[in-house]
Amino acid sequence: MKKVLAKCYLWLLLALLYAPLFFIAVFSFTESRVLGNWTGFSTKLYSNLFTGGMNGGASLISAVENTLLIALISAAFSTLLGTVAAIGIHNLKGRKRQTMQFLNNIPMINPDIITGVSLFLLFVFLGVSQGYLTVILAHITFCTPYVVLSVLPKLSQMNPNIYEAALDLGATPAQALRKVLIPELRPGMVSGFILAFTMSLDDFAVTFFTRGTIGLDTLSTYIYTDARKGGLTPELRPLMTLIFLIVLILLVVINIRQEKANKTVKSR
């Protein structure tokens, strides 16, 4: 009985959570320009999306491209920077370490809008003209802490003697870093990269404040401007559906892999 109630509650919540997404998904298969108006099954919106055959379609495609490119570049740099920073923080002691960890947490606790406004002011202050570069710099700023946080636990889980063992066996510090430390940290770096990548994809506020006036659009800012204009581009519906599916598939794959990994650990 208790179990049934619990299940009902969970599924009710899930139904609520997913209703809008399903709603969009359903209406991505019709041609109507107005949502909620079913004009028969069609995949025209999908083909429009891929061929760019729509009003302002090119800008939607380029927004998607921008989003991916910015996310990729900033995730890559964040991973590099974050790993180095994590190793640095790990080797600090006491007060210094706490201070650095606190600094690292600031961009994460800060709401996007504060990060956005503060970076906007920074770029104004420094006189940097805003565009691609500033958006990427801004994204690196708020993504790096997430990488640091994914790598730090790996560092503290790591047997502290491993690095020393490598030196002991004749590896120079550089060799020890390359042959032992990096391979050990790789899982943390990968999850940091993924986290940074999704953070960057998701971001709206920071991009909004740091993109300047050159008309640079990411998916988020595109949706925002589009929605403010009043008319939602219908092609966004198939795009959302696709993104939804991709995320779903990715998460399922990750989940299955994790479960397998867990099982092999347990079976030992």
Partner 1 sequence: MVIFVVLPLILIVMYAFQDGTGHFTLSNITRFFTDSDSLSTFALSIEVAIENTLICILLGYPAAWILANRELNRSAVTVMLFIMPMWINALMRTLATAELFNVLGFTLGKGTLLFGMVYDYLPFMIYPIYNTLLKMDKSYAEAAEDLGAPPMKVFWKVTVPLSMPGVMSGVLMVFMPTVSTFAISEFLTNNKIKLFGTIIQENINSSMWNYGAALAFIMLIIIGITSLMGGSDNSEAEGGLV
Partner 2 sequence: MAKDYIIDIQHLSKSFGGVKVLDDINFYVRRGEFVTLLGPSGCGKTTLLRQIAGFIAPDEGKILLDGKDISGIPPYQRPLNTVFQRYALFPHLDVYDNIAFGLKLQKLPAKEIEARVKKMLKMVSMTDYEDRSVESLSGGQQQRVAIARALVNYPKVLLLDEPLAALDLKMRKDMQLELKEIHRKMGITFIYVTHDQEEALTLSDTIVVLNEGRIQQIGTPTDIYNEPVNCFVADFIGESNILKGRMIRDRRVAFIKQEFDCVDEGFGENVPVDVVVRPEDIYFTTDPAKCQFKAKVNSCTFKGVHYEMWVDTESGYELMIQDYDPYPVGTEVMLYIDPDDIQVMHKERTRNVFDAKVTDSGHVEMLGQSWDCEVPDGFAAGDEAVAEVRFEDVELLDHQEDGKIAGEVHFLLYKGDHYHLTILTEDGDHIWVDTNDIWDKGDLVGVDIPAKGIKLIRRND
Considering only 1, 109, 174, 265, the residue that binds partner 1 (CB under 8 A) is: 109
Q: How far apart are CA 199 and CA 193, in angstroms?
A: 10
Locus of tokens 């347990």 = 266
Distances 105 to 5, 68, 101, 143 between C-alpha atoms, Å: 39, 25, 6, 11
| Residue 164's binding partner out of partner 1, partner 2, none, with CB under 5 to 8 Å set by partner kind | partner 2
Contact 196, 78 (CB under 8 A): yes
| Residue 32's binding partner out of partner 1, partner 2, none, with CB under 5 to 8 Å set by partner kind | none
Interaction between residue 66 and partner 1 (CB under 8 A):
no
Tell me how many degrees the CA angle 23-14-27 measures, rounded to the nearest 5. 5
| Residue 69's binding partner out of partner 2, partner 1, none, with CB under 5 to 8 Å set by partner kind | none
Q: Which of residues 141-180 bind partner 1 (CB under 8 A)?
A: 141, 144, 146, 149-150, 152-153
Interaction between residue 251 and partner 1 (CB under 8 A):
yes
Minimum gap (Å) between residue 268 Cβ and partner 1: 20
Q: How far apart are CA 82 and CA 75, in angstroms?
A: 10
Interaction between residue 207 and partner 1 (CB under 8 A):
no
Interaction between residue 263 and partner 1 (CB under 8 A):
no
Q: Which CB atom, from 146 or from 180, has the smaller least distance to partner 1?
A: 146
Q: Which CB atom, from 2 or from 93, has the smaller least distance to partner 1?
A: 2
| Residue 65's binding partner out of partner 1, partner 2, none, with CB under 5 to 8 Å set by partner kind | none
Minimum gap (Å) between residue 106 Cβ and partner 1: 5
Locus of tokens 């020393």 = 164
| Residue 77's binding partner out of partner 2, partner 1, none, with CB under 5 to 8 Å set by partner kind | none
User: What are the residues binding partner 2 (CB under 8 A)?
Assistant: 159, 161-162, 164-173, 175-176, 179-180, 183-184, 186, 268
Q: How many residues make contact with partner 1 (CB under 8 A)?
A: 78
Minimum gap (Å) between residue 256 Cβ and partner 2: 22
Q: Which residues pair with 30 in a beta bridge?
A: 41
Cβ-in-10-Å burial (0-12, 13-18, 19+) of 93 comes to: exposed
Interaction between residue 3 and partner 1 (CB under 8 A):
yes
